Amino acid sequence: MGSGLEAAVGMSRKWDAREAGREVARSTIEKLNRPPDFFLLFSTIHYKNPNGFRDFLDGVWDVLPADTPLIGGTVAAFINNYGCFSRGVTALAVSYSNINVALGFGRNTKLHPRNAAKHCVNMIKNGLKTGDYGNKFLIDIISGPTVPNIPFMGRKNFVKSKVGGSFASSVGVRVFPLFGHGLGKEDDIVDYLTSLLSDYYFIGGSTLDTGDMFMNYQFIGEQVLKNSVVALGVDIDKPVFLDSMLGAHQLDIEFDITESIYKNRIITKIDDKPAKERFLGILRINEEQFNELGVFYYKTSNYFPITFRGKEKYTTGVAGFLGDNIVLGHKARGQRVKLLSVTGKEVLNVVEKTFQNISTDFFPFVFMSTSNIFFNMLGEKVYSIKNKLDEYIKDIPYLLVSFATENAGTPADPAVTRVYSFNTLSVNSCF
């Protein structure tokens, strides 16, 4: 690029973790004329054992220049210039002279999300004290939800028994975070990050495995973390481009949450009736039919997203049933609920709408985050997304990763955690 800003995308599908790390680093940075100023690294869960992600990162650092700012984590799938992949590793590297970069992290996000966010922000702020180019963005990677292993029951995010569901709703959800499991509480983390970094553009999401939500990992520097948030703060002299669009539409179905607990994350009453009973009645299906739509209940929520009157940009889904209660993916943002629906056609439309009215000619790279739900819905037709990206982005290095949840926002429109969205980040190199 004439501005001196370079970017590159690399990948590997080797089965050996260390060799995959070496190849993804080599195939990325060999396209650059100078060492990278930051390195985004994503992997599917397939390298977890034995000692897999430790070996994987060791392989990356066999090749990557020492002290390169690096963050990343596990995702279910990704799309880049090379294709669509549900197994493998990929990276995006950026090199530029007029840039300042800092890393931050915070641990124990499921038990103390605000403390983790605060620690992460302090590291970012301290790392960017010198110099100010005036254009800041933050890429955040947060540990997503993990289904707890309940004694005598196994991994469950649904409990049919009313007594067991009541116990899980009142006691279990508070105990699980002590062991690093349960809801990701990404919304608490993002809300706090944006309150402390109000002049930043945001893009990010939460890590997961293949979609089973048994485990997930985050990367920062040479560390492999769990139950943490990692972030990359960037200060650059190029204007930041960020766009976020929702790929769902509202139905003519509304209802009221009349009782909730656990900071509005668990609904106990809908329209003054037991939450699960009323919700299934609204959908006009029974519990068995609901369950047949997915191996676990949270997969079923792919097709029943909800939002809230007056706060329509907040979207979530049913994360599970605990007896008569409903666990939401994120806390409710209001009493009046609107049911949404999403189709494969809408997924493709939101990709097209993002790029059809902008010129990418001066984008040195494009980084995108979206919901793994979209990948699940499209299945083998996910290549339709890549075809759209190739049509509009062409040969610009690009990377789209699928998260459990996504977040994106600007200083004027602060980031929120949600699902069913498509989010895009770049900078304009012509300035």
Residue at a domain's end among 341, 359, 392: 341
CA distance 145 to 370: 16
Model pTM score: 0.94
Which residues 6+ apart lie within 8 Å of 119 measured at CB?
Answer: 104, 105, 106, 107
pLDDT at position 284: 83
pLDDT at position 353: 94
Q: Considering the domain boundaries, does residue 160 fall inside one? A: no
Question: Domain range holding 331?
Answer: 249-341
18-38 pLDDT, tens digit each:
999 999 999 999 999 999 999
Same-domain pairing of 219 and 263: no
Same-domain pairing of 351 and 333: no
Only one residue has tokens 């930043």, namely 200
Closest of 421, 426, 428 to residue 205, by C-alpha: 421
Q: Considering the domain boundaries, does residue 174 fall inside one? A: no
pLDDT at position 110: 97
DSSP H or E segment with residue 141: strand 135-143
Q: Considering the domain boundaries, does residue 34 fall inside one? A: yes
CA distance 160 to 308: 27
Q: Quote the tokens at residue 268.
A: 């106990």
Which residues 6+ apart lie within 8 Å of 94 measured at CB?
Answer: 5, 6, 7, 36, 37, 38, 364, 365
Q: Considering the domain boundaries, does residue 314 fall inside one? A: yes
CA atoms within 13 A on the CB side of 264: 15
On whether the CB atoms of residues 244 and 408 are closer than 8 A, the answer is yes
Closest of 111, 129, 109 to residue 119, by C-alpha: 109
Closest of 73, 58, 78, 75 to residue 10, by C-alpha: 78
Q: How many residues does the chain have?
A: 431
Q: Considering the domain boundaries, does residue 72 fall inside one? A: yes
Same-domain pairing of 186 and 231: yes
pLDDT at position 151: 62
pLDDT at position 295: 35
Phi, then psi, of 427 in degrees rounded to 5: -130, 160
Q: Are strands 228-236 and 135-143 parallel, antiparallel or unpaired?
A: antiparallel
Q: Residue 145 corresponds to which amino acid?
A: P
Same-domain pairing of 260 and 324: yes
Q: Quote the tokens at residue 185.
A: 């509480």
Closest of 294, 311, 262, 314 to residue 110, by C-alpha: 262
Same-domain pairing of 422 and 305: no
Q: For 86-147, where are the alpha helices, taking DSSP H only?
A: 113-127
Q: Considering the domain boundaries, does residue 153 fall inside one? A: no
Q: Considering the domain boundaries, does residue 115 fall inside one? A: yes
Q: Residue 373 corresponds to which amino acid?
A: I
**pLDDT tens string for the chain (431 positions)?**
446 899 999 999 999 999 999 999 999 999 999 999 999 999 999 999 878 899 999 999 999 999 999 999 999 999 999 999 999 999 999 999 999 999 999 999 999 999 999 999 999 999 998 778 999 999 999 999 998 776 656 666 667 778 877 878 888 889 989 999 999 999 999 999 999 999 999 999 999 998 888 899 999 999 999 999 999 999 999 999 999 999 988 989 999 999 999 999 999 999 999 999 999 899 887 777 666 654 333 444 455 789 999 999 999 988 888 889 999 989 999 999 999 988 888 889 999 999 998 889 899 999 999 999 888 888 888 999 999 999 999 899 999 999 999 999 999 999 999 999 999 999 998 77
Same-domain pairing of 23 and 78: yes
Same-domain pairing of 192 and 276: no
Same-domain pairing of 256 and 127: no
Structurally, the chain folds into a number of domains equal to 2
pLDDT at position 291: 63
Q: Which residues on adjacent β-strands are paired with residue 107?
A: 228
Same-domain pairing of 331 and 415: no
Which residues 6+ apart lie within 8 Å of 301 measured at CB?
Answer: 317, 318, 319, 329
Same-domain pairing of 130 and 29: yes
On whether the CB atoms of residues 29 and 63 are closer than 8 A, the answer is yes
- What is the number of H-type helices and E-type strands within the chain? 12, 29
CA distance 248 to 246: 6
Same-domain pairing of 92 and 49: yes
Residue at a domain's end among 290, 323, 341: 341
CA distance 181 to 195: 26
Q: CA separation (Å) from 302 to 10, 119, 404?
A: 30, 33, 11
Residue at a domain's end among 289, 320, 341: 341
Q: Are strands 38-43 and 89-95 parallel, antiparallel or unpaired?
A: antiparallel
274-322 pLDDT, tens digit each:
999 999 899 887 777 666 654 333 444 455 789 999 999 999 988 888 8
Q: Considering the domain boundaries, does residue 168 fall inside one? A: no
Same-domain pairing of 328 and 299: yes
